Amino acid sequence: MWRRFVELVNAKEPVVGLAAFRVLVGLVLFEELFTAWWVGVDRALWLPPEHGGMVPLADPWQFHVLGGPTPATVALVLWGTMVASLLVSAGALTRVASFVALQGFLALMFVNLPCGGGHDKLITNALWILALSPAGASASVDCRVRTGRWLDPTPRAWWPRWVLGLQIACTYTYAGWAKMGPEWWPWGGWKAVYISILQPQWNEVDSTWVAFAYPLTQLATILTMVFECGFFLVPLWMALRHRHVWLRRYDLRVPFLLLAFVMHGTLETFMNLGPFARISVAYYLLLFDAEEYARAWRTLRGLFGAPHPAEAT
């Protein structure tokens, strides 16, 4: 069994989904930090009161080493992390950039912990594994410098893609199982989505009309529970489909991803949850292997009438 596990961990595939994921993670992090800087969150939440901030702060090791959060050190960490996140997207010095972005973002998270959310943890998990992965081996500046081309189909380590795929499955599944509030269950009237949309803490617009669509919100609550509690079935299906032919007849990713887009679309429309939807959707790119991306690419080219490169020559 251990031998089989070692073989799996050391398996290889061309870097496609992981490279696309890398691009999105960098952009999501940059957008989150840039918008924070643009509206003044850095001065309000990441500086202590003696430097004009709102609240007392913690002293994570990264700021401790720099001499504490001051206007100069916060600017250094913030802009350093933003530059590193763009380098992650571009795939330039990818592993180093991922690690720098990770430590910079951890410093900003831990200096004022109550202002974060689950999306922050999805970002840090992504950056840690990207720092160890060959995500910069293709569709990157690193690839261009190394090979003279933008794309490199050489098979590379496969484990980062499936470890990160398991991460999003773990996130959803535990989020579902941890929903202990009665509003998620029949004895609470399946009221969770109704209350969430109306919560003034999160909502964007006056949503009192939702009272007239209450049965729909109950259905959405049930579907959310099915989606989250059952998401562990997706990686399970992905692992077993190679052994059992009948499993390949039904692609379990399709219903789950359809539900995901409806759920995250609803959240994005009515609520302000930061980059939660965007970083979650980025993880979905990891649920498809290089062959599936190649098939999708051929189909797309076929749809637009472009000849296959082999036919064109």
Partner 1 sequence: MTTTSADPDLRQHLLAVFVAFHLTAMVVVSFPAPSRSLLADEPSASARELLAPWVAAGARVGLDEDAVRGVARGWSEGVRAVHGAFYPYTHYLGALQGWTMFGHITAESALPEIEMQRDGRWEPVYVARSTEHAWRRSLFDHDRVRTWLHEAGWKGHSKGWSTFADWALREVSADFDGVEAVRVQFVPVHIPDPVDLRVSRSLEVGRPERVEVRRP
Instruction: Looking at residues 145 to 174 of the shown chain, list those that interact with partner 1 (rule: CB under 8 A).
Output: 155, 158-159, 163, 166-167, 170-172, 174
- Residues 30, 271: Cα–Cα separation, whole Å: 21
Contacts to partner 1 from residues 20-39, by CB under 8 A: 35-36, 38-39
- Residues 97, 84: Cα–Cα separation, whole Å: 5
Contacts to partner 1 from residues 236-295, by CB under 8 A: 272-274, 289-290
Candidate ranges 78-86, 145-153, 204-212, 295-303; the one touching partner 1 (CB under 8 A): 204-212
- Least spacing, CB of residue 312 vs partner 1, in Å: 28
Among 85, 89, 94, 112, binds partner 1 (CB under 8 A): 112
DSSP for residue 308: P
Candidate ranges 17-25, 53-61, 83-91, 137-145; the one touching partner 1 (CB under 8 A): 53-61
Among 20, 87, 97, 106, binds partner 1 (CB under 8 A): 106
Q: Is 13 helix (H, G, I), strand (E, B) or coil?
A: strand
- Residues 129, 307: Cα–Cα separation, whole Å: 37
Q: Which is nearer to partner 1, 11 or 145 (CB)?
A: 11
Among 96, 141, 198, 257, binds partner 1 (CB under 8 A): 198
Question: Among residues 94, 123, 84, which one has the least CA distance to residue 106?
Answer: 123
Residue 252, class by beta-carbon neighbours within 10 Å (0-12 exposed, 13-18 middle, 19+ buried)?
Answer: middle
Only one residue has tokens 């410093």, namely 107
Residue 3 binds to partner 1 (criterion: CB under 8 A): yes
Question: Among residues 170, 163, 177, 198, which one has the least CA distance to residue 271?
Answer: 198
- Least spacing, CB of residue 62 vs partner 1, in Å: 10
- Residues 80, 306: Cα–Cα separation, whole Å: 42
Question: Among residues 86, 79, 100, which one has the least CA distance to residue 28?
Answer: 86
Among 51, 95, 144, 179, binds partner 1 (CB under 8 A): 179
- Residues 66, 294: Cα–Cα separation, whole Å: 47
Contacts to partner 1 from residues 84-103, by CB under 8 A: 102
Candidate ranges 68-76, 81-89, 110-118, 141-149; the one touching partner 1 (CB under 8 A): 110-118
Among 44, 151, 226, 252, binds partner 1 (CB under 8 A): 44
